Amino acid sequence: MSANIRVLIADDHPIFRQGLRAIIEAQPDLTVIGEASDGGTALGLLTGAGAAVAVLDLTMPVKDGFAVARAVRELRLPTAIVFLTMHNDEQSVNAALDLGVRGYVLKDNAITEIVDCLRIVAAGRDYISPSLSSFLINRRGRATRLVAQKPALDQLTPAERRVLKLIADGLTSRAIADQLGIGVRTVEHHRNNVAVKLELRGSHALTKFALRHQSDL
């Protein structure tokens, strides 16, 4: 278990934030280092607060949870993101996982789950509310079927797989190069290799494939 896990809370309901803070700070190894009532403030705090984990509501003013998570990834901030939300639909869960969100907890389960979630996520693992586990099963099933259709997916190198995932996020080659710290030509080389391995022909075939299977890659 990590010692002194630093946590940031962002939710636009002050009473809920106070209750959540009380639950978290009742634990000797968890410390709330800041609160925000909107996503813009949360992102500003995250750039300098040194939080290990940020607990974000999905629906917030200025920037919603997805926008904050996307910015955290683009800025390469070390903070792990946990969504604490009322949204219990499969589309929201998949969108969160596609963004690299490490935890997804329903507000109805916050009292019993948030502490374990924070510890698990701070240790580098993922956590999703057990009541949503069927969504993970569906996701894994689709991924398995996709590999069956395109066995060459298992032959992609780690670098090629990262580029493919970023293409699925809608990033251009320039944006991918900036995010990975490599040259645009290197990105194009990876794109070409992936297209050849997956037998995708045509100028936009790779992009269409990645976007269509974003949640399965």
N-to-C CA span, the chain: 31
Query: What's the total number of domains in the chain?
Result: 2
Co-location of 120 and 96 in the same domain: yes
CATH code for position 10: 3.40.50.2300
Decide if 140 is inside a domain: no
Co-location of 63 and 121 in the same domain: yes
Q: Rounded distance, CA 99 to CA 89, Å?
A: 16
Co-location of 87 and 180 in the same domain: no
Is the pLDDT at 2 greater than 70, yes or no? no
Q: Domain end: 109, 132, 155, which one?
A: 132
Decide if 26 is inside a domain: yes
Co-location of 126 and 61 in the same domain: yes
Q: What angle do CA 189, 190, 193 make, to 5 degrees?
A: 90
Q: What's the pLDDT at 22?
A: 96
Q: What's the pLDDT at 89?
A: 93
Q: What's the pLDDT at 18?
A: 95
DSSP-derived secondary structure letter, 213: T
Co-location of 125 and 156 in the same domain: no
pTM over 0.85: no
Decide if 139 is inside a domain: no
Number of neighbours of residue 173 by Cβ within 10 angstroms: 18
Decide if 112 is inside a domain: yes
Decide if 142 is inside a domain: no
Co-location of 38 and 83 in the same domain: yes
**Residue 160 belongs to domain spanning:** 147-216
Co-location of 92 and 174 in the same domain: no
Mean pLDDT of the chain: 91
Q: Domain end: 108, 132, 156, which one?
A: 132
**pLDDT per residue as tens digits for the range 137-186:** 787 888 788 878 888 888 899 899 999 989 988 889 999 999 889 999 99
**Tokens 């045509």 — which residue?**
202
Co-location of 94 and 162 in the same domain: no
Decide if 106 is inside a domain: yes
**pLDDT per residue as tens digits for the range 60-69:** 999 999 999 9
CATH code for position 205: 1.10.10.10
Q: Give me 55's structure tokens.
A: 């607990």
Decide if 183 is inside a domain: yes
**Tokens 């109805």 — which residue?**
108
